[in-house]
Amino acid sequence: MRRTALLVSAALLTSLLPLAVARAADDSPPVPVDRFEGEVPFANPPTGGLFTWGSDTDDPPTLQLSKRVDAPEGDQVLSGTYDISGYGGFTHDFAFAEPAHDWSAHKGIRFWWDGQDNGKKIAFELKDGGANGEASELWTTSFTDDFTGWKQIEIPFSDFAYRTDYQPVGGIDHVLGLTEMWGYGVTLPVGTPGRFAMDGVELYGKADQSLRASVLTDSAVYPVREGGTAQVKVTVATTGSAPIGEPVTVAYETAGGTASNADYTPLKGEFTFPAGTASGTTRTLKVATLKDKTASENAETIPLKLTVTGAKAPAETPQVVIDAHGLPYLNSKLPVRRRVADLLSRMTLAEKAGQMTQAERGAVGAGADITAEDLGSLLSGGGSTPTPNTAEAWAKMIDAFQLRTRATRFQIPLVYGVDAVHGHNNLVGATVIPHNIGIGASRDPALAQRTGAVTAAEVRATGIPWDFAPCLCVTRDERWGRSYESFGEDPALVESLETVIQGLQGARSGKDLDRNDKVLATAKHFLGDGGTAYGSSTTGTYTIDQGVTTVTRQQLEAIHLAPYKSAVDRGVGTVMPSYSSLDVVGDGLGPVKMHARADMINGVLKKKLGFDGFVISDWNGIDQIPGDYASDVRTSVNAGVDMVMAPYAYKDFHTTLVQEVRAGRVSEKRIDDAVSRILTQKFRLGLFEKPYADTSGASKIGSAGHRAVAREAAAESQVLLKNSGGLLPLRKSQKVYVAGSNADDIGNQSGGWTVTWQGSSGDITPGTTILEAMRKNSPALTYSKDASAPTGGYDVGVVVVGETPYAEGVGDVGNGHDLELSAADRAAVDKVCAAMKCVVLIVSGRPQLIGDRLGDIDALVASWLPGTEGDGVADVLYGKRPFTGRLPVTWPRSQAQLPINVGDPTYDPQFPYGWGLTTLTKVPEGGVATLKALGTAARAAERAGADDRGRALVEKARLIVQRKADRRMTAAVAAPFADADHLLLTGRYGEAVQKLTEAYRAA
């Protein structure tokens, strides 16, 4: 309903509410929000209207407008039923295309509720500020259904509290301003089926000044060096920015805290903002600290108590903090080991437990708990971003959180982490690099390192020093929803691309970590997450992610452990265990969750491999360990987990860990080891000297230089699977017909983990789509997404098809996904390829089944998920760069073959691991005799340690074999061909040529 209509109907609504509570004489007439007489449609954002939501498909309630003779207002009410296992409810969002509503003149909101007397709490939320109803702050309260029949629920705006457990976009200003309201939401009870009815939502009463005016301070924490003066700015502000109508008095006094009167000059007094004072007027209070004769001290706090009359007081008492000084751990000239030992010796158990606790930024609100819980770390989960989602806002947000640590005794800085798995993918406008599967296709370690360097520079420029990447999983089943996070199915390939760690961290010693363009890297997910068996997952509707990996010890070490040994050798700073369970054949333990496997974390990773960084759990990862929460905590920590990601349960974790240590179930020695490891990395990162964001590199975020690296990676990731008659590269003179669902969609070509956790289709971040890039190269180009435009008169068709975004187990095959092209994609391929010579590009995180269509396709390209730089794809399509990519995973003929991997005893794929045609040069001539000579030369190069020459010789042999094997792929050809690529990666060049010769003979 438009605001004008709402206002016009106010008087009418008042006359229709005989049961309403009596209004005070000075109250304003109520203003209706929803009458439920049909004026508000059922519609989803961005259209204004009512819509339902829930944690899964069964949880959204039913919703309808029903005629009721007992309706408190009008003839109809909003009613429905529910049966919720996770969470669910309904929302009224105002239309995004229209201005937000101003509710600031009113005292509160009220509505009629048909009570069922079930004793359940019903949450009621307001949507305040921000860009729209789905990008606003949530403010919440609740009422209890402990009555029968209609009752008017009246809620003053002063009862609403900022939600700290969940915010869709994060804090905007943490103030319920009421001048930009986007609607409301109702969260219904969980666990018991029920019904509800609601009517007559309206604004009531007149806001008094204490609700409209607020006194604010410019910060909650004011750190100063000993002897310095803190300047506390006190501001009066009103909703709507109107001048205050009545005086506002502020009494102030320094009292309490850990500082003594000898540390500062006490301050006490009062001032008044007179009536008529403009909103935003500021007064400054100065708190002077004193130098004493103590050479070294912990940080000391001086609370500045503010008592406000005539307006709302600040949500928190501001604290002036005299910085810690003179303590050995603060001396940057001392070795890190000594600094760690000194700081650790001063800390209490509670402070140590705080360092082992990581919370989600959305859970800590303005950040008071960072100080109260001595938190050591925060993270942004996928899509957990500030508003607006800009580099400047990220840095400002993290600096505000970091400021909170200054009010703790030792001012230990936070280490903030983020999943930047293909560039700084949470940030709109960042350079989005191809996902790891595409980097695996490039076979280019130097390029992998450069992509890591781009990611690190953009992440650190927003104030974030820690990246939860790279994923070193070895993907063994393409049905896994995380396949694209892997470099490939061969551990040798994964190891070869771990150069990305140096791109992220710099030198193996960690000496570069304090640079403003480097971040702490994370090797994940230890151990075996790429080997989970299909159908073994017990997480929700997942089929393979977080399931069970069953292997012999030899398979475990050769396939899944090998990449972690390399990562430790490269100095990776942190390791994250997998959600999955590991079942080592013959060890008698059965499947055990990796977060609980002390034999692997303590025994293999830390002792055998010598890992000296720290282990960070995955998101609520310890909760999947069997047993109660106390058991989860002690089991995971005793297994070697050093920091626990407890996004919203951080208080419970902190409290429980302290209790477990005091009960003797977790040793203080284990705690000291964990905290030492964490502090070591914080010192290496230079956070004690520079806790705040260094944004000097922010201008390079999404820069031409960084996008050039991503463009090169996109080009090198393209794998040419088939090229009949040399159809590729295209010529600019050709008349080109382009179709397909993924030709012009930046979201689809970027995949999951882009801006949000699951990613999404559409124009979600700046970049160049494949179609846009092709237009730059082909003046005579026609685009028809569904191939409905006439197809006559074209030289070549290019059909870009594939997957839509997903992440983790949500993308598992069998969980709403398969490896088949969609019906629309199949129709587009069939129509275009029947009408003209055609090129099919598959944009996906894993192989898609082509089946019998392969014969009708002239050229086939595996494009993977190229990211924001579609120009890289066009570069190889039009011959600006050659196709050089090779399959990082086996391309199956059918889903029945899965899992299928290089080295399998039965191996008959559509395209083998390592396959990739080239447009680089003319394919060398020759046959068996040439291959024999190449083999001799390759063995000589291997003996001489001439790796570049050895690789070049194998590559020449590979091209000879591909020319012969193209169009007649058999198991006898595929198996030795794939084996040769593995041998090449392990430096056995002579054997690689020998296997290629075997494939040549079979072809």
Active-site positions? 618, 808
As a dihedral over the C-alpha atoms of residue 340, residue 344, residue 345, residue 350, rounded to 10 degrees, the angle is 170
Encoded tokens for 599: 């034999």
Q: Which residues contact 819 (CB under 8 A, 6 or more apart)?
A: 478, 479, 813, 846, 847, 848, 849, 892, 895
Sign of the alpha-carbon dihedral angle for 332, 334, 335, 336: negative
**Per-residue CA distances from 1 to 79, 105, 108, 288, 625 (Å):** 19, 19, 19, 55, 50
Which pair of structure tokens corresponds to residue 348?
């209490």
Taking the C-alpha atoms of residue 873 and residue 730, their distance in angstroms, rounded to an integer, is 12
What radius of gyration, in Å, describes the C-alpha atoms of the chain? 31
Identity of the residue numbered 176? L
| Number of other CB atoms surrounding residue 772 within 10 Å | 15
CA–CA separation, 892 and 908 (whole Å): 8
d(C-alpha 300, C-alpha 764), whole Å = 46
Tokens of 552: 């012999």
The dihedral through the CA atoms of 316, 321, 327, 331 has a sign that is: positive
| Residue 674 CA from chain centroid, whole number | 25
Return the beta strands (E) in 804-940 as ranges.
Answer: 838-843, 859-864
CA separation for the pair 111, 20 (Å, rounded): 10
For tokens 């055609």, name the residue: 838
Nearest to 106 by CA among 229, 216, 203: 203
Report the alpha-carbon distance of residue 768 to residue 235 in Å, rounded.
Answer: 45
Residues with Cβ within 8 Å of residue 399, at least 6 apart in sequence: 463, 692, 693
- Whole-Å CA distances, 471 to 501, 542, 582, 753: 11, 20, 18, 13
Spatial separation of the C-alpha atoms in residues 67 and 72, rounded to whole Å: 11
Strands in 592-593's sheet, in edge-to-edge order, are: 548-551, 581-584, 592-593
Collapsing DSSP to helix, strand or coil, 212 comes out as helix
Nearest alpha carbon to residue 463 among 522, 418, 508, 422:
418
Query: Which residue has 């009008």 as its token pair?
Result: 74
Partner residues linked to 802 by β-bridges: 843
Kindly compute the dihedral angle of the four CA atoms of residues 146, 152, 157, 162, in this order, to the nearest 10 degrees. Answer: 40
Are the C-beta atoms of residues 51 and 42 closer than 8 Å to each other?
Answer: yes
Handedness of CA 12, 16, 20, 25 (dihedral sign): positive
Residues 6+ apart with CB under 8 A from 666: 633, 634, 637, 638, 657, 660
CA dihedral 256, 257, 258, 263 (to 10 degrees): -70
Amino acid sitting at position 125: E
Q: How far apart are CA 973 and CA 911, in angstroms?
A: 10
Tell the residue number behind the tokens 């240590």, with chain if given.
661
